[in-house]
Amino acid sequence: MKYDTSKLLDMITIDEGMKLKVYKDSLGIDTIGVGRNLKDRKLTVAELQHLGYSDMRHVHESGLTLYGARYLLRNDVTIAERELLAAHPCVEVLNGPRQMVCVNMSFNLGVPRLKRFMNMWAAIHRRDYNAAADEMLDSKWAEQVKGRATRLSNIMRTGELND
C-alpha cells in the first residue's frame, strides 16, 4: 500500500474516537481503544504479552495506554487492509489517499458491508472517482457518519488529503 500509515491511524482515531478504559459501545458490547470490539476480536495472547498483561482481566481493570491503543489500532488496520485487498485487489493500484479512504471504510463497516457498495466499486474499477464519491454519499452509511462520509468522499473525488 502507498499511504502514510501514521496519517491513516490519526484519521481513523479522529473518526472513531479513542477510549483507554473498557466501555460499552452503542450495542452494549465491551470495547476499548479505537473501536476494538472485545466480543468479536479479543486481544490475542501476543497482544496481551506485548502490552504487558497476563490476561483480559488486567485490560478490564487497568485499561490501555495511548501507546497500547495505537498498537491495537495498527493491528486492526492491518487486518482491515488484508481483508479489503482479498475482496478488492483493485485497491492496490489506487493512489495513497484513495487507499486510505478504502481502508478507513473497511475499518468502519467491515468488508462484508463494504462489498455492498457495488456501484462505488464499479466506479473505482472504471477509475471514475467522481462517481465513486457520489456513490459513497448516496448511502445509508453517509447518513449515519455524516462528516466522515463527506470528508472521505472528497478525498476519493480529488485523490488528495485535505489536511
Note the pLDDT tens digit of each residue in 61-80.
999 999 999 999 999 999 99
Is the Cβ–Cβ distance between 88 and 98 less than 8 Å?
no
Note the pLDDT tens digit of each residue in 3-13.
999 999 999 99
Q: How far apart are the first and last CA of the chain?
A: 20
CA–CA dist 72, 63 (Å, integer): 12
Q: What stretch of H or E contains 22? A: strand 19-24
pTM passes above 0.75: yes
Note the pLDDT tens digit of each residue in 19-41.
999 999 888 999 999 999 999 88
Distance of CA 4 to the CA centre of its chain: 14
User: Per this entry, what is the length of the chain?
Assistant: 163
